[in-house]
Amino acid sequence: MKEVNEQANAATINTRPWINPDRAQSLLRLLRERILVIDGAMGTMIQQHELDEAGYRGKRFAQGYDRLYAAAGHSHGDGCGCSRDQRGNNDLLTLTQPDIIGDIHAQYLAAGADLIETNTFNSTTVSLGDYGLEHLARELNETGARLARAACDAAEVQDPTRPRFVIGVLGPTSRTASLSPDVNRPGFRAISFDELRVAYREAADGLIDGGADVLMVETVFDTLNAKAALFAIEEVFDARGARLPVMISGTITDASGRTLSGQTAEAFWNSLRHSQPLAVGLNCALGAKDLRPHVDVLAQVADAYISTHPNAGLPNAFGGYDETPEDMAGMLREFAEAGLLNLVGGCCGTTPAHIAAIADAVRDQRPRVLPVLEEVA
Ligand SMILES: [Zn+2]
Ligand SMILES: [Zn+2]
């Protein structure tokens, strides 16, 4: 059945060779054998370090701007005006605190993650613009992938029988292409498809050069943003004449079970299935319990592997997350028993303890079998 599906794919867009055939083949083999474990939250782990402004800036950005770079015609100096607060710019830590980021990757690998996500959620020119650091997009993606790959390589040295994979993360950006941020101007857009496409292309190129094994368009709340990312990825693959496996993960943001751009899980899949991803799934916003019915729908309609990485429950009154590793692992075990899962991990509020518990809970469970869907004439 699987072969039929792979032939169907091969006959259409996915005819390019893999960028790294050994890694891609071993990932595909493992997906047929068992449920694979993705890591947990990066932000939650970074918070535990309680870094201050100076901690975020490190030496290179001590003044708030990049000492190694100034736009043409501009020289930084006292009061040059481009110094910005960097506290909260978690992606910048890839450059200023690489040991912290590398250690978080190592902790998730030790907890049992097969795949770890790069610290690049906001590393597009669009999101970096909020910090005045657009020029870092390429460097952050490449270095972010390198850090994650180094952590995977170290884990593989310890246990050569167990391959580990880097998921190069492309986040949703801080702007929506299909919705207006201004209720009084519903036709206004803060960003265009083309601007997003260019930004995602740069990020994807950086991730690939840094050694990402998979690209994941994640936390999708606006399907048009995701389409721009997937279009950019295709452009990058075209230019290289080779491809990586691609994952897509959407976010259900309201009680009626829709994304921010108004789609149910099924509509979301139907809008993006033409890109023939390796996996499609849902993450963030909801905990496992509330995500379950939507994962169920995806598992019925999608002829791709299913992933889910929920938050540790819904946020509490203080914006924190209360679900214990045991709570979350118990619920996700039920997902696995129902045959819904191929890849599972955690989003906001999850820690290595959550991932260890989830890995334990799904270890002996069978992965969902990839369905072959009938062609719609
Ligand atoms: Zn300046
Ligand atoms: Zn999240």
pLDDT digits 0-9 by tens, 327-365 = 999 999 999 999 999 999 999 999 999 999 999 999 999
Report which bound ligand comes closest to the CA of 77. 1
Supply the pLDDT for residue 291.
Answer: 96
Task: Please give the distance, rounded to the nearest whole angstrom, from the Cα atom of residue 142 to the centre of ligand 1.
Answer: 25
Sign of the four-CA dihedral 62, 43, 108, 134: negative
Instruction: State yes or no: pLDDT of 271 exceeds 50.
Output: yes
Task: Please give the distance, rounded to the nearest whole angstrom, from the Cα atom of residue 269 to the centre of ligand 2.
Answer: 20
Averaged pLDDT, 201-222: 97
Alpha-carbon span 20 to 345, nearest angstrom: 24
Task: Please give the distance, rounded to the nearest whole angstrom, from the Cα atom of residue 81 to the centre of ligand 1.
Answer: 6
217 SS3 class: strand
Report which bound ligand comes closest to the CA of 284. 2
Supply the pLDDT for residue 2.
Answer: 45
60-119 residue pLDDT tens:
999 999 999 999 999 998 888 889 999 999 999 999 999 999 999 999 999 999 999 999
Task: Please give the distance, rounded to the nearest whole angstrom, from the Cα atom of residue 259 to the centre of ligand 2.
Answer: 14
Q: Which of 121, 273, 148, 157 is nearest to 213 (CA)?
A: 148
119-165 residue pLDDT tens:
999 999 999 999 999 999 999 999 999 999 999 999 999 999 999 99
Sequence-ordered list of residues with C-beta below 8 angstroms from that of 6, at least 6 positions apart, any chain: none
Task: Please give the distance, rounded to the nearest whole angstrom, from the Cα atom of residue 156 to the centre of ligand 2.
Answer: 28
Sequence-ordered list of residues with C-beta below 8 angstroms from that of 158, at least 6 positions apart, any chain: none
Task: Please give the distance, rounded to the nearest whole angstrom, from the Cα atom of residue 73 to the centre of ligand 1.
Answer: 10
Mean pLDDT over the full length of the chain: 94
Pairing of strands 246-250, 214-220: parallel
Supply the pLDDT for residue 9.
Answer: 46
Report which bound ligand comes closest to the CA of 61. 1
Task: Please give the distance, rounded to the nearest whole angstrom, from the Cα atom of residue 312 to the centre of ligand 1.
Answer: 40
Sign of the four-CA dihedral 11, 214, 246, 366: positive
Collect residues with CB below 5 Å from ion ligand 1: 65, 76, 80, 82
Averaged pLDDT, 274-302: 96
Task: Please give the distance, rounded to the nearest whole angstrom, from the Cα atom of residue 38 to the centre of ligand 2.
Answer: 13
Query: pTM for the whole thing?
Result: 0.94
Report which bound ligand comes closest to the CA of 82. 1
Q: Kindly list the strands in the beta sheet with 343-344, ordered across the sheet, starting from the edge strand earlier in the chain.
A: 36-37, 343-344, 305-311, 279-287, 246-250, 214-220, 165-170, 115-117
Supply the pLDDT for residue 375.
Answer: 60
Alpha-carbon span 289 to 310, nearest angstrom: 9
Instruction: State yes or no: pLDDT of 47 exceeds 70.
Output: yes
Helical spans, DSSP H, in 1-72:
2-11, 21-33, 43-47, 53-57
Label residue 13 by pLDDT band (50, 70, 90).
Answer: low
Supply the pLDDT for residue 12.
Answer: 46
Report which bound ligand comes closest to the CA of 79. 1
CB 42 within 8 A of CB 107: no
Instruction: State yes or no: pLDDT of 7 exceeds 50.
Output: no
Sequence letter at residue 173: T
Task: Please give the distance, rounded to the nearest whole angstrom, from the Cα atom of residue 347 to the centre of ligand 2.
Answer: 4
Sequence-ordered list of residues with C-beta below 8 angstroms from that of 78, at least 6 positions apart, any chain: none
Task: Please give the distance, rounded to the nearest whole angstrom, from the Cα atom of residue 124 to the centre of ligand 1.
Answer: 21
| Residue 308 CA: distances (Å) to CA of 12, 110, 208 | 27, 20, 23
Report which bound ligand comes closest to the CA of 84. 1
Task: Please give the distance, rounded to the nearest whole angstrom, from the Cα atom of residue 281 to the centre of ligand 2.
Answer: 13
1 versus 231: the higher-pLDDT residue is 231
Task: Please give the distance, rounded to the nearest whole angstrom, from the Cα atom of residue 79 to the centre of ligand 1.
Answer: 8
Computed over its alpha carbons, how large is the radius of gyration of the chain? 20
Task: Please give the distance, rounded to the nearest whole angstrom, from the Cα atom of residue 274 to the centre of ligand 1.
Answer: 44
Supply the pLDDT for residue 252.
Answer: 94
Helical spans, DSSP H, in the chain:
2-11, 21-33, 43-47, 53-57, 93-96, 98-111, 125-128, 137-158, 193-209, 223-240, 265-272, 288-301, 325-337, 352-362
CB 242 within 8 A of CB 233: no
Q: Dmax over Cα atoms in the chain, in whole Å? A: 66
308-329 residue pLDDT tens:
999 999 999 998 999 999 999 9
Label residue 247 by pLDDT band (50, 70, 90).
Answer: very high
CB 261 within 8 A of CB 179: yes
Supply the pLDDT for residue 255.
Answer: 82
Supply the pLDDT for residue 143.
Answer: 98
Task: Please give the distance, rounded to the nearest whole angstrom, from the Cα atom of residue 169 to the centre of ligand 2.
Answer: 13
Alpha-carbon span 326 to 347, nearest angstrom: 15
Task: Please give the distance, rounded to the nearest whole angstrom, from the Cα atom of residue 65 to the centre of ligand 1.
Answer: 6
Supply the pLDDT for residue 4.
Answer: 46
Report which bound ligand comes closest to the CA of 282. 2
186 SS3 class: coil
Task: Please give the distance, rounded to the nearest whole angstrom, from the Cα atom of residue 116 to the centre of ligand 2.
Answer: 15
Q: If you write DSSP's letter for every residue of 107-130 in order, what string do you get?
A: HHHHHT-SEEE-S-TT-SHHHHGG
